């Protein structure tokens, strides 16, 4: 069938469609399977204009204008400068990677950033957020724990109440190498957005999103970032945050092809981790390894804080000073309950009490440090449920939690103190 004959064949169908509603040119082409050629709506319109009919083609929508890739220098003068979404940490229109070994609290870091972007609260306790909006957290590992406990703890800590972050959505992990699944997931996100743009999408973790692809291959990195770009383009999101793992050799850092690292705009490493088993407190060092449009190589320090929630307890990250963190990460033994116990046993006879300065001075002499440093160590965590010196402090002074004369050795006294500690904690809480 020639081009002319095909258009003559199609013309009655066009007339018939035009009687009831505006012509859907693309649907008409797809419906007519007899066409041996690929005709665009514009080509058909041109042919109809060349062969006048009673058909009104004014309702046909114009093709969407393709977004230009290039600007003149004069046009570039009017474009805005790159802007911070999270001050000095994450830029607008960027891809962010968070990497760490297992159990280094990288998911807690990602949850904090997601909550901050969804609500406008400070990120990591201190970084200003320029604007807030819908954030989608794709939890490929431990979704129930993320959804019910970790995010809830973040909400409670920032005064929102359980399930109070209205613009934060938690879902199953996203898959980067299945076009059908990607289309369905983007469709769900767009349905939730209801015409509004997303602000950020968090992928936790990268390994699960790759769904078996070899992250050591550069073409896999290219495919993954094409997936991220599609997420941003079709949801309106400004930022993606991907959570990845270190390799088996921790000293070599993140695993995978160097093409991943080259494609991120910002990379954060959780480079150090310390766990105080006695106080049940985690301390981490965040290293800003890469900042494409800003200053990199900065260090930030965070510590875990226990939060009571309706379904038990979880924790959040709060900032601490570099000096406090360095004391924790250094080889210097931190001030312990045993240190305080030994000094109080000497100072507090007959169930006596001493001031903080009276306690700090002999401790400072024993450890060869300044008195103010000991006072600071004694106050560290004060007011928190997990404050390790809590049993020694009540009524504004310091003392032993029981009479020490009834035991002969330090070990006997410590053992008795451990046995009675839970009861004493309850009593001290009531007194405060």
pLDDT digit string, tens, across residues 121-163: 999 999 999 999 999 999 988 899 999 999 999 999 999 999 9
Per-residue pLDDT, 166 = 92
Residue 315 in tokens: 């924790």
Per-residue pLDDT, 278 = 74
Bridge-based pairing of strands 281-291 and 168-172 is unpaired
Q: Report d(CA 28, CA 32) in Å as an integer.
A: 6
Per-residue pLDDT, 373 = 81
Which residue has tokens 């220098």?
73
Per-residue pLDDT, 117 = 98
Per-residue pLDDT, 34 = 47
pLDDT at 14 over 70: no
pLDDT at 64 over 70: no
Please state, in angstroms and as integers, the Cα–Cα distance from residue 210 to each residue in 90, 128, 206, 254, following that order.
24, 32, 6, 15
Residues 102-129: what's their mean pLDDT?
A: 96
Per-residue pLDDT, 404 = 47
Helical residues (DSSP H) of 248-392, grouped into ranges = 258-263, 322-329, 337-347, 356-367, 371-379
Residues 10-26: what's their mean pLDDT?
A: 53
pLDDT at 282 over 80: yes
Per-residue pLDDT, 37 = 44
Average pLDDT in the chain: 82
Residue 88 backbone class (left: φ over 0; alpha: ψ -120 to 50; beta: rest): left
Per-residue pLDDT, 82 = 84
The answer to which of 11-25, 31-45, 292-306 has the lowest mean pLDDT is: 31-45
SS3 132: coil
pLDDT at 29 over 70: no
Band (pLDDT 50/70/90 cuts) for residue 413 is low
Residue 188 in tokens: 């769900």
Bridge-based pairing of strands 393-394 and 90-91 is unpaired
Alpha-carbon torsion angle 412, 413, 418, 421, nearest 10: 150
Strand partners, 282: 275
Query: Alpha-carbon torsion 392, 397, 398, 402, what sign?
Result: negative
Helical residues (DSSP H) of 51-98, grouped into ranges = 73-76
How many H helices and E strands in the chain?
A: 16, 13
Per-residue pLDDT, 294 = 87
State what percent of residues in the chain have pLDDT above 90: 52
Domain spans of the chain, in order of start: 3-50, 84-329, 337-431
Per-residue pLDDT, 132 = 97
Give 323's DSSP letter.
H
* pLDDT tens, position by position, 283-309: 999 999 999 988 999 999 999 999 999
Please state, in angstroms and as integers, the Cα–Cα distance from residue 383 to each residue in 13, 184, 280, 378, 386, following that order.
79, 48, 15, 12, 8
Per-residue pLDDT, 36 = 45
pLDDT at 1 over 50: no
Strand partners, 317: 304
pLDDT at 269 over 70: yes
Per-residue pLDDT, 193 = 97
Q: How far is CA 41 from the centre of its chain?
A: 46
Per-residue pLDDT, 428 = 43
pLDDT at 267 over 90: yes
Residue 345 in tokens: 């046993």
Identify which of 25, 81, 32, 30 has the alpha carbon closest to the alpha carbon of residue 48.
25
Band (pLDDT 50/70/90 cuts) for residue 387 is confident
Spell out the residues 6+ positions from residue 276 whose beta carbon is closer than 8 angstroms to its own. 282, 283, 328, 334, 388
Residue 361 in tokens: 């001075």
Residues 346-357: what's their mean pLDDT?
A: 82
Phi (first) and psi of residue 314, to 5 degrees: -150, -155
Per-residue pLDDT, 104 = 95
Per-residue pLDDT, 390 = 84
Residue 358 in tokens: 């009276």
pTM for the model stands at 0.67
Task: Centre a 10 Å sphere on the Cβ of residue 300 and count the other Cβ atoms it contains.
Answer: 20
Which residue has tokens 């116990």?
341
* pLDDT tens, position by position, 202-238: 999 999 999 999 999 999 999 999 999 999 999 999 9
Query: Alpha-carbon torsion 46, 52, 57, 58, what sign?
Result: positive
Band (pLDDT 50/70/90 cuts) for residue 392 is confident
Which residue has tokens 């001030």?
335
Instruction: Let me know: does 97 contact 261? Beta carbons within 8 Å.
Output: yes
Band (pLDDT 50/70/90 cuts) for residue 430 is very low
Give 398's DSSP letter.
E
Spell out the residues 6+ positions from residue 136 whose beta carbon is closer than 8 angstroms to its own. 169, 171, 189, 198, 200, 201, 202, 235, 237
Identify which of 52, 87, 60, 21 has the alpha carbon closest to the alpha carbon of residue 266.
87
Per-residue pLDDT, 242 = 98
Per-residue pLDDT, 401 = 73
The answer to which of 198-202, 239-243, 422-426 has the lowest mean pLDDT is: 422-426
Instruction: Let me know: does 266 contact 227? Beta carbons within 8 Å.
Output: no
- Write down the CATH number for the domain with range 84-329: 3.40.50.300
């Amino acid at each position: 069938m020639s081009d002319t004959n095909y258009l003559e064949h199609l013309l009655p169908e066009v007339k018939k469609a035009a009687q009831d509603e505006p012509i859907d040119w693309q649907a008409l082409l797809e419906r007519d399977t007899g066409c041996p050629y690929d005709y665009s709506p514009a080509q058909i319109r041109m042919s109809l204009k060349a062969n006048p009919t009673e058909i009104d083609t004014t309702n046909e929508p114009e093709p969407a204008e393709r977004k230009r890739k290039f600007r003149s220098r004069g046009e570039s003068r009017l474009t805005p400068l790159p802007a911070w979404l999270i001050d000095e940490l994450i830029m607008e229109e960027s891809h962010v990677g968070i990497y760490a070994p297992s159990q280094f609290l990288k998911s807690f870091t990602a949850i904090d950033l997601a909550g901050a972007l969804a609500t406008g609260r400070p990120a990591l306790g201190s970084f200003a957020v320029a604007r807030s909006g819908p954030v989608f957290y794709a939890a490929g590992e431990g979704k129930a724990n993320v959804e019910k406990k970790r995010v809830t703890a973040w909400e409670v800590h920032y005064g929102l109440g359980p399930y109070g972050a209205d613009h934060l959505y938690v879902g199953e992990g996203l898959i980067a190498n299945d076009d059908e699944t990607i289309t369905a997931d983007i469709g769900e996100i767009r349905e939730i957005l209801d015409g509004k743009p997303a602000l950020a999408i968090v992928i936790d973790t990268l390994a699960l999103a790759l769904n078996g692809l070899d992250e050591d291959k550069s073409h896999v990195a290219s495919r993954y970032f094409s997936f991220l770009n599609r997420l941003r383009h079709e949801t309106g999101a400004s930022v993606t945050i991907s959570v990845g793992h270190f390799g088996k050799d921790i000293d070599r850092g993140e695993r995978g092809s160097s093409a991943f690292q080259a494609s991120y705009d910002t990379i954060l490493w959780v480079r150090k981790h310390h766990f105080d088993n006695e106080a049940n407190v985690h301390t981490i060092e965040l290293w800003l390894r890469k900042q494409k449009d800003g200053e990199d190589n900065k260090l930030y320090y965070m510590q875990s804080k226990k939060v009571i929630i309706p379904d038990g307890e979880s924790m959040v990250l709060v900032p601490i000073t570099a000096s406090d963190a360095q004391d924790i990460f250094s080889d210097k033994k931190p001030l312990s309950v045993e240190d305080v116990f030994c000094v109080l046993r000497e100072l507090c006879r007959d169930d006596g009490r001493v001031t903080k300065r009276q306690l700090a001075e002999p401790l400072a002499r024993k450890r060869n440090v300044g008195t103010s440093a000991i006072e600071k160590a004694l106050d560290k965590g004060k007011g928190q449920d997990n404050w390790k010196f809590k049993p020694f402090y009540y009524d504004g002074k310091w003392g032993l939690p029981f009479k020490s004369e009834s035991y002969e050795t330090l070990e006997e006294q410590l053992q008795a103190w451990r046995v009675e500690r839970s009861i004493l904690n309850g009593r001290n809480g009531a007194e405060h």
